[in-house]
Homo-oligomer: A and B are copies of this chain.
Amino acid sequence: MPAPQRVTTASLAATARAIAERDGIDAVTISAVAAAAGVRAPSLYKHVGHRHDLLRLIADDAARELGDDVTALVGSSADPAVVLPGIARAVRAFSARSPRAAGLLFSAPSPEAGPTPEGMAPLIASLLEAVGRATPGDPLPAARTMTAWVYGFCTMEQAGAFQLGGDVDEAFEFGLTTLVDALTGSGGARR
């Protein structure tokens, strides 16, 4: 009589992500996830090929969650001056509530630990859609500029790289206004 399955890939993702957020990426070990799932370490190799696959499960879970947020925003308004800031703030909010998963999303410690292209596709599609509405020309360089800034800002903020004091919220809004004004060509007066 076959043994009943005690763990699913989806439950593994949730378990691994919880450990990552509580104790850090380094704590996402085969042993720790197995123990949290109520199973012995070797059993995990029925679901993942190696430890970095656990991180990839977390990354893809994060990509799906953030992709849902962004897609909803893009569907909620047609005005780029509303949608672009909304997306940037959604990314930052996600990064604040799931910093470890967000880190894996954009800068995984290895290619195998990063999200799959399929997992990222909905997020990227919504992003390009939003930027395409804002700029008349090729949306790709504009989207890359926006993405690089948001990603860089959130990563540095979570890594504690902003150590010179000052108001980090203000710096975020300043950068956001600067970029959105420039990309939409609104030339709105700098506050």
Q: Could you tell me which A residues sit within 8 Å of B by CB distance?
A: 24-26, 103, 106-111, 114, 117, 124, 138, 140-142, 144-145, 147-153, 155-156, 159-164, 166, 168, 170-171, 174-175, 178-179, 181-183, 185, 187, 190
Contacts and interface: CB of A to CB of B under 8 A. Distances in A.
Given A170-B141, A175-B141, A152 B159 contact: no
22 contacts: A106-B156, A106-B161, A107-B161, A108-B159, A111-B159, A114-B161, A124-B164, A140-B164, A140-B166, A141-B171, A141-B174, A142-B174, A144-B153, A144-B175, A145-B149, A145-B153, A145-B171, A145-B175, A149-B149, A151-B152, A179-B179, A185-B190
Q: Determine how many copies of this chain the complex contains.
A: 2
Contacts of A24: 110
Nearest to A52: B26
Contacts of A110: 24, 26
A148 B124 contact: no
Contacts of A155: 106-107, 151-152, 155
A135 B150 CA distance: 21
